[in-house]
Structure 1
Amino acid sequence: MSNEHTKMVIGIDDTDSREGMCTTYLCALLRDELSSFAKAVSDPMLVRLNPTIPYKTRGNASVALLVECREPEKVMEHVTRRVATMSCLDNENTNPGVVFITDEQFGTVRPDLSEFFRRAVRDVITIDEAKEMALKLCLRFQVFKNGRGLIGALSACGAMLDPEWDHTYEYLAYRVKDSWGTPRSVDDDSLFKADRQTYPDTWDTVDLFNDMVVCVPHSADPVLYGIRGKDRSSVEKAASFVRCEPVERACTFRTNQGTDMHLLPAGGISEITGMHSYILEGQVCSMPATIRGGHTIFSLQDAEGQKIDCAAFEPTKNFRELVRQLIPGDRVIVYGSVTERTVNIEKIKIIGLASKYEVLNPLCPCCGKRMKSAGSGQGYRCRKCNTKSMTTQSKEVKRAVLPGFYEVPPCARRHLAKQLLRFGKEDVPVFPSR
């Protein structure tokens, strides 16, 4: 056994499926299991990758641990064995990857992996690209089946090695294994209390407008609930108020959730491609229409005259009421992901409102009363004075919406979408979104 301590980053991804398991749970479990022969030297990392990737499992998350140990081979053996035995390998979409990076490699690999991490959040990376990167950097790694999880494992390592990015925290509580797949027991009132006691240092625990609990999942995975916030102390304080079924273990992660890290600035619609997320400015060029399923859609036109559909989908609830108040001529900036040439709106900033008019029957020049229709194509006639007119009048209507920043409610929030409460003072929303 060596007397020298070695620091090691361990990246893991794609161990879960839509039917169960959770990569963050495996990370929390390994952190505890490794504690007898390795010491965790930083918060574990939870990285959300490109949300538009079609072959993702649930939240498209990868994880990383930074440990210090004397027996790196023992650590690698234990981690690899646990990934092999706990991953949902029977599921065709579960393709785990594990990466190990020791401290003598940190300085050499950091620039490449930092860039790889950012690309994985914003772009589409192939399995072959990930394997080429791992081989180029001479990294120790293990893949299972087609090895797609290597993409996320490398990304999480890049995030761990590069602290220069915006971050938040999430406290995750996990269920006792015998409870997996059964209905969760978490007291709603305690979650609303946790929100009252810690907001705005924590967020998206509940949705006050829609009177909903947000932080408790409904899938069969081990997560009982998750509290998101600005720092470790805030999320752990919120968790202290929660009354629930027995918790097997809990873990607080540093994460890129709530950062808008996935968004790319688009100079125009010609730059937009599917499976990417953008910030796009343009002019509303159609009246919003609500289609089957409750989705509200309008068309946006850029400075070059190109158009793209923008959608507030049904899960965004009351946010659709705002979108329905837009009219052609309004100038907006939309934030969201693009699939099938449609922007899935996460936030919208109204930067200019067009004038809105209502058409009125003309006033009688003699008595000042409104004329009545004289019949189809015959204009208008004053019944009292018998005066006639062929023209209508228009009156500007005060708009019910104001310029400003608006976001979808917490119940519809994507993991990576940045909450308005995290924006600077120059972008304070018109009204609280809670």
Structure 2
Amino acid sequence: MIIGIDDTDSNEGMCTTYLGALLLEELQAYGAVETFPLLVRLNPTIPYKTRGNAAVALKLKTVCPEKVIAHVISRVEELARIECEKTNPGVVFILEKDYKILKPVLGNFLEEAVRNVIEIQEAKSLIKEFEISSKGFKNGRGLIGALAACGAMLNPEEWDHTFEHLAYRQKERWGTPREIEKESFFEADRKTYPGTWDTVDLTNRLVVCVPHSADPVLFGIRGETPTIVTEAASMIKSEPVERFAVYRTNQGTDMHLLSAANAAEIRDMHSYMLEGMVSAFPKTIHGGHVIFSIRDNEGNEIDCAAFEPTKNFRALVRKLMPGDKVVLSGSASSGTLNIEKIEIKKLAPLHKEENPKCPNCEKHMKSTGQGQQFRCKKCGTHVPSKVRCEVKRDLETGLYEVPPCARRHLAKPLVREKRSDIGIHPAR
């Protein structure tokens, strides 16, 4: 059977992946866990999410599914932060006899949950139609993520994946400052990058894989394989780890991005790739945010932003100018595209006027006065005006990304890109 769980945490604490790690151990009393647990990040722009908008799924071989169902529901009731207004847990159980019929249905549902906006009633109607065993708490919004996670488990070959080693704190330490040796994270990064990424932000000298909220997670190491993330985790020096789990995830895959044919298609609460031409010089507004606009092939324009948390990425954006051809990746909010990555496909030429060179001496000529001709002091040759010449831009074509400290869970880091047609500039 497959078990999907979502929305058990709150902004103040708890973590659905921690509940998944507990159940990984406890459910072995009822059967055998068949594969890696899944951590599935859903649409990152949903306003009613708690923190990272993650759901989990477990796959178990058991002869007593009813006991498993009862145990899981009791643990959700015990550990979920149901007292929180925004927390609305959902649990879904898919029995093996229903795998075949639900595989395409929940596969589609997964894609919709990651890229679009799904209403609670949509999930409840699907559960009713296929008579899926489930339990929703309060308004049951967590049923959306629980179904999506089951869809991921049923269709492992249909989506790109990475892994995360999640280490959890002892319960008595929850809510207290985390005790870590920062240099051990930089050392782990030095020895395992590019097999792992987003452990640290070298440019901004930050450890980025340690959360700051009161949840049970001590740290999470992301990477390409279970072996490499576990190797990196073994180098970390910190307070005692209560338990850990290695999750297969859709993090770092760009699974959330839709391809927009034009700017008119872009809707808030969705994420896109959009090609266009820079139509206005970037400007820095209050708060340090950098705003500019692009125009698509149909003449539609949209504002784009590199917000202050993107740090040094803003310096790159400030170098753009009208006429530059770009492909932007990011999420839409209030009619503005919040940039996660930028591909600079073509740079507009930059020109300046300068004193002409003497055609005989090849020396720059001097003006004979305001509005007058230019004359070579050596040979006396005259030229009527300045000349226009192209200047090399302080910018290269290629792929650029925000720094690790500003990266969303789902955004694919450039270290994972396999393209050879364009320069790649990973942020470190």
- TM-score bracket for this pair, using the shorter chain length: over 0.9
Q: Find the counterpart in structure 2 of residue 87 from structure 1.
A: 80
1:294 alignment partner, SS class: coil
- 8 Å CA contact retained: 1:402, 1:430: no
Pick from 171, 177, 187: which aligns with 2:181? Answer: 187
Pick from 192, 204, 221: which aligns with 2:215? Answer: 221
Q: Find the counterpart in structure 1 of residue 118 from structure 2.
A: 125
Partners of 1:219 and 1:160 lie apart in 2 by 28
Q: Find the counterpart in structure 1 of residue 136 from structure 2.
A: 143
1:201-280 maps to which residues of 2 (within 5 A)? Answer: 201-280=195-274
Pick from 171, 178, 184: which aligns with 1:177? Answer: 171
- 8 Å CA contact retained: 2:374, 2:385: no
| 1:100 maps onto 2:93 in alignment | yes
Q: Tell me the CA shift for residue 389 of structure 1.
A: 10
Pick from 17, 26, 51: which aligns with 2:19? Answer: 26
Q: Which amino acid aligns with 1:346?
A: E
Q: Deviations 1:196-254 (Å, cap 9, x if unpaired)?
A: 11111111101111111110010110000000000111100111101110111000000
- 8 Å CA contact retained: 2:2, 2:60: yes
- 8 Å CA contact retained: 1:80, 1:142: yes
Pick from 330, 341, 347: which aligns with 2:341? Answer: 347
1:307-386 maps to which residues of 2 (within 5 A)? Answer: 307-360=301-354, 369-371=365-367, 374=370, 379=371
Partners of 1:362 and 1:181 lie apart in 2 by 69
Pick from 142, 148, 153: which aligns with 2:146? Answer: 153
Q: Tell me the CA shift for residue 429 of structure 1.
A: 3.6
Q: Which amino acid aligns with 1:180?
A: W
Pick from 103, 106, 121: which aligns with 1:110? Answer: 103
Q: Find the counterpart in structure 1 of residue 62 from structure 2.
A: 69
Q: How many percent of aligned residue pairs carry the same amino acid?
A: 57
| Range moving further from structure 2, 236-245 or 267-276 | 267-276
Partners of 2:180 and 2:161 lie apart in 1 by 27
Partners of 1:394 and 1:239 lie apart in 2 by 57
Partners of 1:273 and 1:299 lie apart in 2 by 16
Q: Deviations 1:118-175 (Å, cap 9, x if unpaired)?
A: 1100000000001011111110010011111000000000000101210000000000
Q: Find the counterpart in structure 2 of residue 9 from structure 1.
A: 2
Pick from 400, 408, 418: which aligns with 2:394? Answer: 400
Pick from 269, 286, 292: which aligns with 1:292? Answer: 286
Report the CA distance shift for 1:427/1:121 in structure 2 as closer, same or farther (over 3 A): farther
- 8 Å CA contact retained: 2:374, 2:384: no
| Range moving further from structure 2, 55-64 or 66-75 | 66-75
Partners of 1:373 and 1:138 lie apart in 2 by 89
Partners of 1:52 and 1:359 lie apart in 2 by 46
2:4 alignment partner, SS class: strand
Partners of 2:425 and 2:396 lie apart in 1 by 10
2:258 alignment partner, SS class: strand
Report the CA distance shift for 1:384/1:39 in structure 2 as closer, same or farther (over 3 A): closer
Q: Find the counterpart in structure 1 of residue 419 from structure 2.
A: 425
Q: Find the counterpart in structure 2 of residue 5 from structure 1.
A: none
Pick from 158, 163, 170: which aligns with 2:156? Answer: 163
- 8 Å CA contact retained: 2:120, 2:144: yes
- Structure-2-length-normalised TM-score: 0.94
Q: Which amino acid aligns with 2:67?
A: K
Report the CA distance shift for 1:182/1:265 in structure 2 as closer, same or farther (over 3 A): same
Q: Which amino acid aligns with 2:39?
A: L
- 8 Å CA contact retained: 2:41, 2:55: yes
- 8 Å CA contact retained: 1:361, 1:380: no
Q: Tell me the CA shift for residue 428 of structure 1.
A: 5.6
Report the CA distance shift for 1:40/1:368 in structure 2 as closer, same or farther (over 3 A): closer
Partners of 2:36 and 2:162 lie apart in 1 by 12
Q: Tell me the CA shift for residue 37 of structure 1.
A: 2.0
Report the CA distance shift for 1:373/1:145 in structure 2 as closer, same or farther (over 3 A): farther
Q: Find the counterpart in structure 2 of residue 4 from structure 1.
A: none
Report the CA distance shift for 1:230/1:357 in structure 2 as closer, same or farther (over 3 A): same
Q: Which amino acid aligns with 2:266?
A: I
| 1:303 maps onto 2:297 in alignment | yes
The size of the alignment, in residue pairs, is: 423
- Structure-1-length-normalised TM-score: 0.93
Q: RMSD of aligned C-alpha atoms?
A: 2.2
